[in-house]
Amino acid sequence: MDFTSILGGIFEGLRVTGIVTLYGMLYAVPFALVFGVLQYFTRGTVQWMVTAVIEFWRSSPVLVLLFLLYYALPSFGVNLSSVTVGSMALGLNIGGYGSQSVRAALQALDRGQVEAGKALGLTRLDVLSLIELPQAFVAMTPTFINQFIQLVKGTALVSLISLTDMTFRAKEIAQLEYNPVGIYTALLFAYFIICYPATIIGRRIENWLSAGQRGNRDF
Protein backbone atom coordinates (compact mmCIF):
# COMPACT_ATOMS: atom_id res chain seq x y z
CA MET A 1 0.00 0.00 0.00
CA ASP A 2 1.20 3.48 -0.80
CA PHE A 3 1.07 6.36 1.70
CA THR A 4 -2.24 7.71 0.37
CA SER A 5 -3.93 4.31 0.67
CA ILE A 6 -2.64 3.87 4.20
CA LEU A 7 -3.88 7.33 5.15
CA GLY A 8 -7.29 6.55 3.64
CA GLY A 9 -7.49 3.34 5.64
CA ILE A 10 -6.62 5.16 8.85
CA PHE A 11 -9.31 7.77 8.23
CA GLU A 12 -11.89 4.98 8.21
CA GLY A 13 -11.60 5.25 11.99
CA LEU A 14 -12.23 9.01 11.99
CA ARG A 15 -15.93 8.59 12.83
CA VAL A 16 -15.14 6.80 16.11
CA THR A 17 -12.39 9.30 16.94
CA GLY A 18 -14.84 12.15 16.35
CA ILE A 19 -17.62 10.58 18.43
CA VAL A 20 -15.32 9.93 21.39
CA THR A 21 -13.96 13.48 21.14
CA LEU A 22 -17.45 15.02 21.01
CA TYR A 23 -18.80 12.97 23.92
CA GLY A 24 -15.56 13.54 25.81
CA MET A 25 -16.10 17.30 25.58
CA LEU A 26 -19.66 16.82 26.87
CA TYR A 27 -18.11 15.34 30.00
CA ALA A 28 -15.11 17.68 30.19
CA VAL A 29 -16.72 21.13 29.86
CA PRO A 30 -19.54 20.76 32.45
CA PHE A 31 -17.16 19.03 34.88
CA ALA A 32 -14.57 21.79 34.50
CA LEU A 33 -17.11 24.59 34.93
CA VAL A 34 -19.00 23.08 37.86
CA PHE A 35 -16.01 21.88 39.85
CA GLY A 36 -13.90 24.92 39.00
CA VAL A 37 -16.63 27.23 40.32
CA LEU A 38 -17.20 25.02 43.38
CA GLN A 39 -13.51 25.04 44.21
CA TYR A 40 -13.52 28.82 43.89
CA PHE A 41 -16.65 29.29 46.00
CA THR A 42 -16.37 26.70 48.75
CA ARG A 43 -14.21 26.66 51.85
CA GLY A 44 -13.13 24.17 54.47
CA THR A 45 -14.27 20.55 54.30
CA VAL A 46 -16.48 21.06 51.24
CA GLN A 47 -13.60 22.59 49.29
CA TRP A 48 -11.38 19.68 50.33
CA MET A 49 -13.96 17.20 49.02
CA VAL A 50 -14.31 19.09 45.73
CA THR A 51 -10.53 19.19 45.35
CA ALA A 52 -10.29 15.45 46.07
CA VAL A 53 -12.72 14.67 43.22
CA ILE A 54 -10.82 16.95 40.85
CA GLU A 55 -7.46 15.45 41.77
CA PHE A 56 -8.75 11.90 41.38
CA TRP A 57 -9.67 12.47 37.74
CA ARG A 58 -6.77 14.81 37.02
CA SER A 59 -4.02 12.71 38.57
CA SER A 60 -5.15 9.25 37.46
CA PRO A 61 -3.53 7.92 34.25
CA VAL A 62 -6.08 7.74 31.46
CA LEU A 63 -4.96 4.23 30.56
CA VAL A 64 -5.69 3.02 34.09
CA LEU A 65 -9.07 4.80 34.09
CA LEU A 66 -9.99 3.11 30.81
CA PHE A 67 -9.24 -0.37 32.08
CA LEU A 68 -10.84 0.31 35.47
CA LEU A 69 -14.11 1.54 33.96
CA TYR A 70 -14.18 -1.03 31.19
CA TYR A 71 -13.24 -4.16 33.13
CA ALA A 72 -13.99 -3.42 36.80
CA LEU A 73 -17.44 -1.83 36.63
CA PRO A 74 -19.15 -4.93 35.12
CA SER A 75 -18.13 -6.79 38.31
CA PHE A 76 -20.49 -4.42 40.16
CA GLY A 77 -23.29 -4.84 37.62
CA VAL A 78 -22.50 -1.62 35.74
CA ASN A 79 -22.06 -2.24 32.03
CA LEU A 80 -21.04 0.69 29.87
CA SER A 81 -20.32 0.73 26.17
CA SER A 82 -16.77 1.20 24.92
CA VAL A 83 -17.67 4.66 23.58
CA THR A 84 -19.09 5.71 26.96
CA VAL A 85 -16.06 4.41 28.83
CA GLY A 86 -13.61 6.07 26.47
CA SER A 87 -15.48 9.38 26.47
CA MET A 88 -15.89 9.40 30.25
CA ALA A 89 -12.28 8.52 31.07
CA LEU A 90 -10.82 11.05 28.64
CA GLY A 91 -13.43 13.75 29.28
CA LEU A 92 -13.25 13.70 33.07
CA ASN A 93 -9.46 13.59 33.00
CA ILE A 94 -9.35 16.65 30.73
CA GLY A 95 -12.13 18.26 32.78
CA GLY A 96 -10.00 17.93 35.89
CA TYR A 97 -7.31 20.06 34.27
CA GLY A 98 -9.92 22.44 32.88
CA SER A 99 -11.40 23.02 36.34
CA GLN A 100 -8.10 24.53 37.45
CA SER A 101 -8.23 26.96 34.54
CA VAL A 102 -11.75 27.99 35.58
CA ARG A 103 -10.72 28.47 39.21
CA ALA A 104 -7.57 30.40 38.30
CA ALA A 105 -9.45 32.67 35.89
CA LEU A 106 -12.02 33.53 38.55
CA GLN A 107 -9.40 34.14 41.20
CA ALA A 108 -7.49 36.48 38.89
CA LEU A 109 -10.40 38.91 38.67
CA ASP A 110 -10.45 42.06 40.75
CA ARG A 111 -12.32 41.33 43.98
CA GLY A 112 -13.67 44.85 43.94
CA GLN A 113 -16.09 43.82 41.21
CA VAL A 114 -17.80 41.43 43.60
CA GLU A 115 -18.21 44.14 46.22
CA ALA A 116 -19.49 46.58 43.59
CA GLY A 117 -22.03 44.04 42.39
CA LYS A 118 -23.28 43.41 45.89
CA ALA A 119 -23.51 47.16 46.47
CA LEU A 120 -25.84 47.35 43.46
CA GLY A 121 -28.12 44.77 45.06
CA LEU A 122 -26.98 41.72 43.07
CA THR A 123 -26.81 38.33 44.75
CA ARG A 124 -23.52 36.45 44.83
CA LEU A 125 -24.85 34.11 42.13
CA ASP A 126 -25.81 37.08 39.96
CA VAL A 127 -22.32 38.52 40.33
CA LEU A 128 -20.83 35.20 39.28
CA SER A 129 -23.06 34.69 36.22
CA LEU A 130 -23.28 38.31 35.03
CA ILE A 131 -19.88 39.76 35.92
CA GLU A 132 -17.23 37.17 36.76
CA LEU A 133 -17.86 34.28 34.37
CA PRO A 134 -18.13 36.39 31.18
CA GLN A 135 -14.73 37.94 31.92
CA ALA A 136 -13.14 34.69 33.05
CA PHE A 137 -14.38 32.90 29.92
CA VAL A 138 -11.91 34.87 27.78
CA ALA A 139 -9.04 33.80 30.02
CA MET A 140 -10.22 30.17 29.94
CA THR A 141 -10.50 29.97 26.16
CA PRO A 142 -6.84 29.20 25.30
CA THR A 143 -6.74 26.43 27.90
CA PHE A 144 -9.97 24.83 26.68
CA ILE A 145 -8.73 24.92 23.09
CA ASN A 146 -5.50 23.22 24.11
CA GLN A 147 -7.43 20.63 26.07
CA PHE A 148 -9.69 19.92 23.11
CA ILE A 149 -6.58 19.14 21.09
CA GLN A 150 -5.23 16.99 23.93
CA LEU A 151 -8.54 15.14 23.94
CA VAL A 152 -8.33 14.43 20.21
CA LYS A 153 -4.83 13.03 20.63
CA GLY A 154 -5.88 11.11 23.74
CA THR A 155 -8.47 9.18 21.75
CA ALA A 156 -5.59 7.05 20.48
CA LEU A 157 -5.85 5.15 23.78
CA VAL A 158 -9.41 3.96 23.17
CA SER A 159 -8.05 1.46 20.65
CA LEU A 160 -7.02 -0.56 23.73
CA ILE A 161 -10.69 -1.19 24.58
CA SER A 162 -11.48 -2.39 21.06
CA LEU A 163 -12.83 0.82 19.56
CA THR A 164 -12.04 1.07 15.87
CA ASP A 165 -10.64 4.60 15.96
CA MET A 166 -7.81 5.82 13.75
CA THR A 167 -5.12 4.19 15.91
CA PHE A 168 -6.99 0.88 15.87
CA ARG A 169 -7.19 1.07 12.08
CA ALA A 170 -3.45 1.74 11.92
CA LYS A 171 -2.84 -1.40 13.98
CA GLU A 172 -5.08 -3.41 11.68
CA ILE A 173 -3.21 -2.17 8.61
CA ALA A 174 0.12 -2.91 10.33
CA GLN A 175 -0.96 -6.54 10.74
CA LEU A 176 -1.49 -6.78 7.00
CA GLU A 177 1.35 -4.62 5.74
CA TYR A 178 4.84 -4.84 7.21
CA ASN A 179 5.54 -1.14 6.99
CA PRO A 180 5.50 0.27 10.55
CA VAL A 181 7.37 3.44 9.59
CA GLY A 182 4.97 4.34 6.79
CA ILE A 183 1.84 3.34 8.71
CA TYR A 184 2.60 5.22 11.92
CA THR A 185 3.92 8.21 10.00
CA ALA A 186 0.57 8.28 8.23
CA LEU A 187 -1.18 8.03 11.61
CA LEU A 188 0.86 10.98 12.90
CA PHE A 189 -0.04 12.95 9.79
CA ALA A 190 -3.73 12.06 10.22
CA TYR A 191 -3.79 13.53 13.75
CA PHE A 192 -1.94 16.60 12.46
CA ILE A 193 -4.59 17.10 9.76
CA ILE A 194 -7.26 17.14 12.49
CA CYS A 195 -5.47 19.08 15.23
CA TYR A 196 -3.78 21.85 13.24
CA PRO A 197 -7.00 23.36 11.83
CA ALA A 198 -8.46 23.18 15.35
CA THR A 199 -5.49 25.21 16.56
CA ILE A 200 -6.00 27.86 13.88
CA ILE A 201 -9.74 28.10 14.57
CA GLY A 202 -9.03 28.30 18.28
CA ARG A 203 -6.66 31.22 17.81
CA ARG A 204 -9.24 33.09 15.78
CA ILE A 205 -11.89 32.51 18.46
CA GLU A 206 -9.45 33.69 21.11
CA ASN A 207 -8.61 36.85 19.14
CA TRP A 208 -12.30 37.53 18.50
CA LEU A 209 -13.17 37.20 22.19
CA SER A 210 -10.21 39.35 23.23
CA ALA A 211 -11.17 42.04 20.71
CA GLY A 212 -14.74 41.99 21.97
CA GLN A 213 -13.59 42.39 25.55
CA ARG A 214 -11.34 45.31 24.63
CA GLY A 215 -14.24 46.91 22.75
CA ASN A 216 -16.48 46.61 25.79
CA ARG A 217 -13.85 48.25 27.96
CA ASP A 218 -13.42 51.12 25.49
CA PHE A 219 -17.17 51.59 25.40
Band of pLDDT at residue 65, cut at 50, 70 and 90: very high
Has residue 219 got a pLDDT over 50?
A: no
pLDDT attached to residue 184:
93
Close Cβ partners of 126 (under 8 Å, ≥ 6 residues apart)? 117
List, for residues 128-185, the tens digit of each pLDDT value: 888 888 888 888 888 888 899 999 999 999 998 988 999 999 999 998 888 889 999 9
Q: What does the pLDDT read at residue 216?
A: 55
Domain ranges of the chain: 3-218
Residue 70, pLDDT score: 92
pLDDT: is 11 or 213 the higher one?
A: 11
pLDDT tens-digit series, residues 8-20? 999 999 999 999 9
For residue 15, CA distances in Å to 12, 22, 39, 147, 169 come to 7, 11, 36, 20, 12
Alpha-carbon span 61 to 191, nearest angstrom: 21
pLDDT digits (tens, 9 = 90+) for 106-132: 988 888 888 888 888 888 888 888 888
**213: confidence class by pLDDT, cuts 50, 70, 90:** low
Amino acid, single-letter form, for residue 9? G
pLDDT, the chain, mean: 89
Residue 67 and residue 79: Cα distance in Å, rounded?
Answer: 13
| Per-residue confidence (pLDDT) for residue 215, from 0 to 100 | 56
Q: Stretch 72-83: mean pLDDT, rounded?
A: 89
Which residue type sits at 48? W
198 within 8 A of 152, measured Cβ to Cβ: yes
Q: What is the pLDDT of residue 10?
A: 94
The pLDDT tens digits of the residues spanning 31-43 come to 999 999 999 988 8
What local confidence, expressed as pLDDT, does residue 158 receive? 93
pLDDT confidence of residue 217: 56
Quick one: 110 exposed, middle or buried, by C-beta within 10 A (0-12, 13-18, 19+)?
Answer: exposed
Residues 6+ apart with CB under 8 A from 89: 62, 65, 66, 69
Query: pTM (2 decimals)?
Result: 0.87
CATH number of 3-218: 1.10.3720.10
**Residue 46 confidence (pLDDT) above 90:** yes
